Amino acid sequence: MDKNLEDLRNLAEQWLHEGNEFVQQIPPAQLYAALGVLLLTTIFFFSIRLFRRTKSNTVLLSGLSGSGKTVLFYQLRDGSSHHGAVTSMEPNEGTFVLHTENTKKTKPVHLVDVPGHSRLRSKLEEYLPRAAAIVFVVDALEFLPNCRAASEYLYDILTNASVVKNKIPVLLCCNKTDKITAHTKEFIRKQMEKEIEKLRASRSAISAADIANDFTLGIEGEVFSFAHCVNKVTVAEASGLTGETAQVQEFIREYVKP
């Protein structure tokens, strides 16, 4: 046992000696240059990590009132829907790990359920500058009567200065797909694109006088498509009531990384 240890020590000493000789052979200028590069890369990687940490973890749930935001909020937090327990006038918000996730390596999400009442929409504008992502909830069941209002709301979001500048990704979440009469996400996407196309035409006509919308949407001279937005817009289906929220969770995780 002792002998082994001795051998090991001798070996280590030998290596140390060889290493020393090797270093002494290198011209000092090269040695300093190498150390400098090493130092710089270390600083570089540490600053990247620091930069990442400060990234926002705020995800907004927006959409018309009645689309199912509050149910979705509780479903993501607790895995249950708290059946119609709350009619929120104030934003519901919380910071938590999505309930399906097994703690440890996951970063908590700051989820804000912003009420859809039009007079409370200024609340949304408060949250938009620090949002990492937006989930725009649409009622796929009662879609047609709400299509115009929902499209207007989404239009306002997509032309918001923070959304455009920070290229905040938006998930168009077609909710209530547990019912067979719910419209498909493809149908909803197309209808909303059509509606936004109409809005775009009418709003650009009045924009000389009204500067409420900060940015124009889509590509001029082309029929509007979500693919033309500077930020990424994706479509998904969900049911807050039955807890089918996999696509929403996937979206959140894509933009709130540990």
Ligand X SMILES: Nc1nc2c(ncn2[C@@H]2O[C@H](COP(=O)(O)OP(=O)(O)O)[C@@H](O)[C@H]2O)c(=O)[nH]1
Q: Please give the Cα distance from 249 to 97 (Å, whole number).
A: 11
How many contiguous H segments (helices) and E segments (strands) does the chain have? 8, 6
Q: How far is the CB of 88 from Mg ion (least distance, A)?
A: 5
Q: How far is the CB of 112 from Mg ion (least distance, A)?
A: 12
Planar angle of CA 89, 90, 91, nearest 5 degrees? 120
Residue 189, binding choice from ligand X, Mg ion, none, Cβ under 5 to 8 Å by partner class = none
What does each C-alpha distance from 220 to 197, 208, 244 come to in angstroms? Answer: 11, 16, 38
Residue 84, binding choice from ligand X, Mg ion, none, Cβ under 5 to 8 Å by partner class = ligand X
Cβ distance to Mg ion smaller for residue 88 or 225: 88
Cβ distance to Mg ion smaller for residue 69 or 189: 69
Residues lying near Mg ion in the complex (CB under 5 A): 69-70, 88
Whose tokens are 């790990």? That residue is 97
Question: Which residues touch 43 (CB under 8 Å, ≥6 apart)?
Answer: none
Q: How far is the CB of 182 from ligand X (least distance, A)?
A: 8
Q: How far is the CB of 128 from ligand X (least distance, A)?
A: 18
Whose tokens are 């009204």? That residue is 210
Cβ distance to Mg ion smaller for residue 82 or 198: 82
Residues lying near ligand X in the complex (CB under 6 A): 63, 65-71, 84, 116, 175-176, 178-179, 239-241
Cβ distance to ligand X smaller for residue 58 or 239: 239
Neighbours of 193 (CB within 10 A): 18
For ligand X, which residue has the nearest CB?
68
137 within 8 A of 62, measured Cβ to Cβ: yes
